[in-house]
Structure 1
Amino acid sequence: MGKLTASKVRALTEPGRYSDGEGLFLELNGKDSGRWLLRVQSGGRRRDIGLGSLRAVSLADAREAAFLARKKIAQGIDPVAERKQERLVIPTFRKAAELVHEEHEKAWKNGKHQAQWLATLKTYAFPKMGDLLVSDIEGPLIRDVLAPIWLTKPETARRVRQRIATVLDWSCAKGFRATEAPIRSISKGLPRQPKKDGHFAAMAYADVPDFVATLRERESVGRLALEALILTAARSGEIRGALWSELDLERGLWSLPAERMKMGRAHVVPLSVAAIDVFERAAKFQVGEGKLVFPGQRAKKALSDMTLLKILRDMDLNVTVHGFRSAFRDWVAEQTDYPGEVAEAALAHTVANKVEAAYRRTDFLEKRRLLMRDWAAFCTKTPIAEAISPDMEGHSAGSGNPAGRGEHDEGSAHVAA
């Protein structure tokens, strides 16, 4: 039998705690003002669980709520967590995906990735699971979403799988579902995808000079952008997003800020004479005060990646734009004696070895200037002596030659015989 009665509760005026027994208390703030608390031992610690205000909850109701809470604790159920879960508004997969996209897009440097992330879910996931609560989505449904495209569009299917997992893992972290996405079991339930070599289709470096000559037969923004990409060994997005403010043509330098680089680190590209010439020829396509070096059909919008790829397809070439970076790397390895780390720095690759990366403080700018000069001379079939960039005037064609070979005009001291 409890220590309190309804009449006694109504008569109380002195602030303080009044026990009813078995852990139930009335915490009084003043006459008819207070709240009910249940003190329990849960998980090895003492907790006070609120059961409602005095004005809203009667003594009888408080006793009933206390009884139910003690019963749940005895069953291993946390009544507070359960109450929070009941108050939680669980979103649909569509809404959760939109929230995840909104939270993450600011951290993505690639605008194309930002747009594609939600677009793939809208196309492949939303029709079957978009209107379902994230708490109700299980492995079999995810597998059924992926199965129709798993073999016909393997790369897209893997991206959809990863993005579904991101949404469900986020939902788990927010308390909207009990578990993360069961990706391992889903993958086991799908057929094995055919293996690919993982490399971009690249033009053989020996064919690059003739391709550049063909590229120069006509002039357009797209062709100039592709030529600049080849001569600088830059990524497509870096070239297409190039700004006039990043270029110092007098010094032969192109400075890209960290936010425009895949690895998130600022990068300086030394420009050969041929590369400078491409940027100068691109100036006539500038509209008004346009900031982009290679504008698309709309002056303020960059060229699309498909513009560059279409040039290759129109020439019946089964290679990718990105593959020219591979051609450059192969040429360095097979036709020159430049160190591998210089070539990797030219490609703006990170140092894989963490210890080496921690101690390396140079970006090999001067060595890369020589390397890009030699690459441009090779691509344009130009003698080395005519390929010297602005900051190299006064340097011999053999500058930086570790073997101390003599000067000559027909080839670089770094180009293997």
Structure 2
Amino acid sequence: MPHLTLTTRFCESAGPADGRQVDYYDDEVKGLSLGVSPRGRKVWTFRYRNLASKPCRITMGVFSASLGLAEARTRARRLRTLVDDGIDPAAEKRIAKSRERDRAIGTFDDLAQAYFDACEKGIWTPKGKVKRKRSLDDERNVYRLHVKPHLGKLPPKEITRAVVKSRLREMFMSGIGAQTNKAHQMIRATYSFAIAEEIEPDIILYNPGMGFGRIAPIKPRLRTLKDDEWRVFWAALEALQREELLASKTGERIFMGPQMAIVLKLCSLLLQRKGEIVGMRWSELDLSQGVWLIPPERMKGGRLHLVPLSSWAISLIRQAASYTQGVQSDCVFPNPRNPSIPMRADSVSHGMRLLNQNIGITNATPHDLRRSGATAMTSERLEISPLIRSKVLGHAFDTGGGAAVTSLHYDANSYARAKRAALEAWQTLLGHIVRGEEQVAEFEPYATGPRQGLLGLPGVVSAI
């Protein structure tokens, strides 16, 4: 750290020492230095100690014609006067910056966007880890649909506990269950962020999302499709895939693209979540091997998930490709407005709701397709192990009765062979159901002989 009486000529010619940054301290004004980076960038800095004797520094600006030696010394003397008067210039600068940021937070929507940005960048990690993209997307969706239209334009200070409870009760009374609790969680998390980051600390004094429990009671959903509902549902999907215009019992026409029919079929066959199905990418697929690898960031459990693909599923995926010829996208089901991103997951729920209203199936969602298949697997029709069923569904923490720590940290198996056999048994059973046949599929987890397929795995069911 060389000390010398700086001159304008020296400042103009000063360079780094041996490719390292060097600070040249001015003997005329205590605390003033010119830092030169390895690339030759020159920055003025003022160093001092605050009242607690803690070393502090404040960056004054880049060396230039408008901020030369004379101007830098003038500014450094002003800062030295503040320090001598017991003022911490760096702290004052941080406070001013915070106030400027707070002025940008005029509405709850501004606060929510600041919260989402901090989560996405990894700045806000209350649980010690960066929030997964899937979780953040779910929060954004809940906010967009249920919170922003009602609270988005209000100043954060005007959103009281009574306002939050009123909005959540409106949602619950309109028949919205789980999303009500998710909206509650999102509001609570946003205000926790604001308080921890001291955004408007003189105004946001408490968290209006805290101090009361869940508005919507948690009721496990048990809906599964019966055999006759599967037949009606599948017949409608077949007609939509043929691009036929279906008419409801009231004579109303059903307008839905064949891609949506394929998505709902794949939800039924593979028993994966709707978001995982519509988010399917060609880079995740190996159709020649009959394997789909879903990356951890797209899985609810945050772990890599292998899904065996039957020839039936592969045929549907290839059919989906035929509807997007000429579209440059890695997405199997690209968004019509922006092919670089997948179709929205909530469009699957909307499409199935519209279809069901017109074919007479009540209270059934895309997730009920997954539950129906999972229930059939462990029923007396197939008698598949609950552990293997959980592996098919991608439930990361189902131990099958073993120790949780063993499953989480010591079991790295994908159970591909058993999962392929289980999905084959379910898809065979589903084929019998939709064709109106009585034959029951048999589960052969370790089949041998002529039915044995790739890598010794059981053969896959053919398309119907």
**Which category describes the TM-score, using the shorter chain as reference length?**
0.5 to 0.7
> How much has 1:331 moved relative to structure 2?
0.8
> How much has 1:146 moved relative to structure 2?
1.7
Please list every run of 5 or more consecutive structure 1 residues that lacks an aligned counterpart in the other structure.
1-13, 15-27, 70-77, 402-417
Identify if the C-alpha distance between structure 1 residues 341 and 183 changes in structure 2 by more than 3 Å, giving closer, same or farther.
Answer: farther
8 Å contact from structure 1 (residues 146, 160) kept in 2? no
Q: Deviations over 1:226-245 (max 9, x none)?
A: 11110111111121122344
Q: Deviations over 1:252-296 (max 9, x none)?
A: 222323333232322221122332332343343232245443445
CA distance in 2, matches of 1:275, 1:321: 17
Q: If the length of structure 1 is used for normalisation, what is the TM-score?
A: 0.66
Q: 1:30 aligns with which of 13, 23, 28?
A: 28
Partner of 1:208: 230
8 Å contact from structure 1 (residues 273, 387) kept in 2? no
Matched, 1:339 2:358: no
Partner of 1:3: none
Identify if the C-alpha distance between structure 1 residues 82 and 166 changes in structure 2 by more than 3 Å, giving closer, same or farther.
Answer: farther
Partner of 2:372: 327
Partner of 1:22: none
Q: 1:359 aligns with which of 401, 404, 410?
A: 410
Q: 2:98 aligns with which of 84, 88, 92?
A: 88
Q: What are the within-5 Å matches in structure 2 for residues 160-199 of structure 1?
A: 160-178=183-201, 181-183=206-208, 186-187=211-212, 193-199=215-221
> How much has 1:153 moved relative to structure 2?
0.4
Please list every run of 5 or more consecutive structure 2 residues that lacks an aligned counterpart in the other structure.
6-25, 33-45, 58-73, 122-131, 173-177, 242-257, 399-403, 459-464
Partner of 1:231: 269
8 Å contact from structure 1 (residues 209, 378) kept in 2? no
Amino acid at match of 1:215: L
Q: 1:293 aligns with which of 332, 335, 356?
A: 332
Q: What are the within-5 Å matches in structure 2 for residues 17-416 of structure 1?
A: 29-30=27-28, 55-56=77-78, 65=85, 85=95, 88-89=98-99, 90-91=101-102, 92=105, 93-105=108-120, 107-109=132-134, 112-113=137-138, 115-116=140-141, 119=144, 120-129=146-155, 132=156, 137=157, 141-154=159-172, 155-178=178-201, 181-183=206-208, 186-187=211-212, 193-199=215-221, 201-204=223-226, 207-208=229-230, 211-219=233-241, 220-291=258-329, 292-295=331-334, 297=336, 300=339, 302=343, 304-305=347-348, 306-317=350-361, 318-335=363-380, 336-352=382-398, 353-381=404-432, 394-395=450-451
Identify if the C-alpha distance between structure 1 residues 123 and 210 changes in structure 2 by more than 3 Å, giving closer, same or farther.
Answer: closer
Larger Rg: 1
Identify if the C-alpha distance between structure 1 residues 263 and 392 changes in structure 2 by more than 3 Å, giving closer, same or farther.
Answer: farther
Identity %: 19
CA distance in 1, matches of 2:376, 2:80: 85
CA distance in 2, matches of 1:244, 1:87: 46
Identify if the C-alpha distance between structure 1 residues 392 and 225 changes in structure 2 by more than 3 Å, giving closer, same or farther.
Answer: farther
Moved >6 Å (runs of 4+):
31-39, 78-83, 382-388
Identify if the C-alpha distance between structure 1 residues 227 and 102 changes in structure 2 by more than 3 Å, giving closer, same or farther.
Answer: same
Identify if the C-alpha distance between structure 1 residues 309 and 251 changes in structure 2 by more than 3 Å, giving closer, same or farther.
Answer: farther
**Secondary structure of the structure 2 residue equivalent to 1:379:** helix
**Secondary structure of the structure 2 residue equivalent to 1:378:** helix
> How much has 1:81 moved relative to structure 2?
6.5
Amino acid at match of 1:187: F
CA distance in 2, matches of 1:58, 1:396: 83
> How much has 1:400 moved relative to structure 2?
9.2
> How much has 1:347 moved relative to structure 2?
0.4
User: How many residues in Structure 1 have an aligned counterpart in Structure 2?
Assistant: 347
Identify if the C-alpha distance between structure 1 residues 94 and 200 changes in structure 2 by more than 3 Å, giving closer, same or farther.
Answer: same
8 Å contact from structure 2 (residues 29, 76) kept in 1? no
Identify if the C-alpha distance between structure 1 residues 299 and 142 changes in structure 2 by more than 3 Å, giving closer, same or farther.
Answer: closer
> How much has 1:334 moved relative to structure 2?
1.3
> How much has 1:32 moved relative to structure 2?
9.7
CA distance in 2, matches of 1:151, 1:145: 10
